[in-house]
Amino acid sequence: MDDGTWVIKYSVQAPGVVGSRDQNYNRKMLNCMEYGVPVGVIFATEVGYKVLGLAFVERFEPENGWFVLHGPVHKGGPDPRFASDMSYLKHMSADIEFAGQSATDDEKARYALRRERLGQQWFRKQLIAAYDGRCAVSGCGVNEALEAAHIENYSGPKSQVASNGILLRRDFHALFDAHLISFEPVCGEYRLCGSYLLDKTDYAFFAGATLRQPNERQWRPNAVFLEAHRIEFDRSEKKREKAGLLPY
């Protein structure tokens, strides 16, 4: 997917009715979904096995007979501080209905793909509204250039909340995800801190820039998440220095 994650559809083990929640074979998967416990993803190849890593069981689709797994799981995993907001499901397109085998495989695939993208679209929509359609660092208001950046790495639908996001221009989003920039608290606000690797680039101009926050308090970035990101930024900076990386 565009954000670097991957999605796998895992068929239910159902000797009887496809998709039945009563099948003991699927109980553990359902428990993992309900409690946010990641599962290991391994599949056979012609020469052995390929390990993809850990993934969250994002949802169960009985109409299709599969679980949707979303990975990879990053360090830290699901966080109980996230507040679940699944209201976006009310806006999901319902132009394709399934009844047994009446839908083609292609229709099912298109329907599932829309559902997979919907959460990210809703997350971005929240941040566009919260930040008045402008990058929180540069002030850029070009909609096509703006992206919804997660502060804590994606860990399922519960992480798609405004307090876990910042609206950033695409290049700043990439730098933020790579821990080449972060934000530190200074006198009641947050200021951008950049890696020494950026000192000779145009991004040095933004060093110390104030992070513009939403007016609504519930939409502002979670302070705990920002602190965790900054700690990881500091750790990454030490690794870069130790490796002797030179500025761009």
Note the pLDDT tens digit of each residue in 171-206. 999 999 999 999 999 999 999 999 999 999 999 999
Q: Is 168 helix (H, G, I), strand (E, B) or coil?
A: strand
- pLDDT tens for 96-148 read 333 334 445 555 555 445 544 556 788 899 999 999 999 999 999 999 999 99
pLDDT at 137: 98
Q: Read off the pTM.
A: 0.59
pLDDT at 216: 92
Place of tokens 């501080």: 81
- Asked if pLDDT for residue 79 goes beyond 60, the answer is no
> Helix and strand tally (H, E) in the chain?
4, 8
pLDDT at 160: 81
Domain ranges of the chain: 6-73, 126-242
Spatial distance between the Cα atoms of 192 and 209, rounded to a whole number of angstroms: 5
- Kindly indicate the confidence band of residue 156, based on its pLDDT and cuts at 50, 70 and 90: low
Percent of the chain with pLDDT over 90: 47
Percent of the chain with pLDDT over 70: 72
Asked if the peptide bond before residue 185 counts as cis, ω within 30 degrees of 0, the response is: no
Spatial distance between the Cα atoms of 110 and 112, rounded to a whole number of angstroms: 6
Which residues sit opposite 167 in a β-bridge?
148
Higher pLDDT among residues 55 and 246, named by residue: 246
The DSSP secondary-structure symbol of 84 reads P
